[in-house]
């Protein structure tokens, strides 16, 4: 479960024992617009999910955006895509709104992934309609055994990988510098593939991360066809139960804090994965979790680990009021 985070830039992830979740494995296509709070965070490509909690605010994972390096883009460079189902097709339901602020939890710890939650303020309010709706915050913490819906556009295949921590690529700093800056500067020197605005990244043939981002064919006269591996074009959903705290801690000895919950199946086969990071876990109509991390994707005895949203109602309310 890798979480494509915008933390892009936290090159320390490669040393971590687990990985951010990024993708829905073992699920099926969501009914179109059945998760109207689901958003895609985009910087020329989808890198994380999020949840609309009001017309002006989105909640996501802190590991998706940590301004820890000079190469980290500003919050205003993030495009929040609302009303999406197929992120590679214009369906007429989308709203694209730039972020104005990204506010990670002040006690987020990248070493432990504790307090993995972030608020994003939109530069202008979203229009709430049947395709864009706010998901209610939890009125209480969810109980063991409750079935929940996890959604995202992440990886759809079981992943083992060397680095099995955050549900994102192992490290994003180098591919960011190699590929994303090329896009921003429109310098495609030596590239055999092109950037298809706004979906694809330009990947140099010499890049060490040729499969990290979608690629575009050399279509004529303009590159319009995107090639991508492992990720889903359409929003995917899985139904998964909340596991007991004991089961969660037994799967990850010493790594689970009181701000985390586990969901999934100990036999494996269904899970979130890369690029699902920051996305919603909705239980009985309330946002109870945020896709955070896990070992691999859908592996036996390693369920997905999610930020426990009910612990943050006060922080969310106070942060929104102050901003």
| Residues that are catalytic | 63, 116, 277
Q: What angle do CA 122, 128, 133 make, to 5 degrees?
A: 90
| Distance, first Cα to last Cα, the chain | 32
Contact assessment for residue 61 and residue 278, using Cβ atoms and an 8 Å cutoff: yes
What Rg do the C-alpha atoms of the chain give, in angstroms? 18
Return the DSSP state at 319. Answer: H
Examine residue 203 and say whether the peptide bond preceding it is cis (omega within 30 degrees of 0).
no
44 token code pair: 């020329």
Distance CA 219, CA 242 (A): 46
Q: What angle do CA 322, 285, 273 make, to 5 degrees?
A: 85
Distance CA 20, CA 100 (A): 25
Residues 312-318: contacts with CB within 8 Å, 24+ apart? Answer: 312/105, 312/117, 312/259, 313/137, 313/138, 315/105, 315/117, 316/53, 316/59, 316/119, 316/137
From the list 102, 37, 99, the residue with the least C-alpha distance to 290 is 37
285 token code pair: 């109509």
Tell the burial category of 165 from Cβ atoms under 10 Å away from its Cβ (0-12, 13-18, 19+): buried
């Amino acid at each position: 479960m890798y979480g494509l985070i915008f933390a892009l830039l936290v090159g320390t992830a490669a040393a971590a024992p687990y990985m951010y979740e990024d993708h829905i494995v073992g699920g099926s296509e969501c009914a179109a617009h059945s998760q109207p709070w689901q958003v895609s965070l985009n910087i020329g490509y989808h890198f994380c999910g999020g949840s609309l909690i009001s017309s002006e605010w989105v909640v996501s994972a802190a590991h998706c955006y940590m301004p820890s390096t000079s190469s980290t883009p500003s919050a205003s460079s993030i495009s929040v895509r609302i009303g999406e189902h197929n992120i590679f097709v214009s369906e007429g339901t989308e709203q694209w709104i730039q972020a104005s602020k990204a506010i990670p939890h002040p006690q987020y710890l990248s070493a432990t992934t504790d307090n993995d939650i972030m608020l994003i303020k939109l530069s202008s309010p979203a229009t709430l309609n049947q395709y864009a709706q706010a998901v209610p915050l939890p009125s209480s913490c969810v109980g063991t055994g409750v079935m929940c819906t996890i959604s995202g556009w992440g990886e759809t295949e079981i992943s083992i990988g060397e680095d099995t921590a955050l549900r994102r690529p192992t490290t994003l700093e180098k591919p960011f510098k190699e590929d994303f800056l090329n896009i921003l500067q429109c310098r495609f020197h030596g590239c055999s593939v092109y950037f298809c605005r706004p979906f694809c990244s330009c990947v140099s043939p010499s890049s060490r991360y040729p499969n990290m981002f979608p690629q575009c064919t050399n279509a004529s006269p303009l590159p319009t066809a995107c090639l991508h591996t492992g990720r889903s074009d359409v929003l995917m959903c899985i139904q998964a139960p909340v596991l007991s705290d004991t089961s969660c801690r037994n799967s990850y000895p010493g790594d689970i804090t009181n701000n985390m919950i586990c969901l999934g199946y100990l036999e494996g086969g269904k899970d979130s994965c890369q690029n699902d990071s920051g996305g919603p876990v909705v239980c009985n109509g309330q946002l109870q979790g945020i896709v955070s991390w896990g070992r691999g994707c859908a592996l036996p005895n390693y369920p997905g680990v999610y930020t426990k949203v009910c612990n943050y109602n006060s922080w969310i309310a106070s942060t929104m009021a102050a901003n």
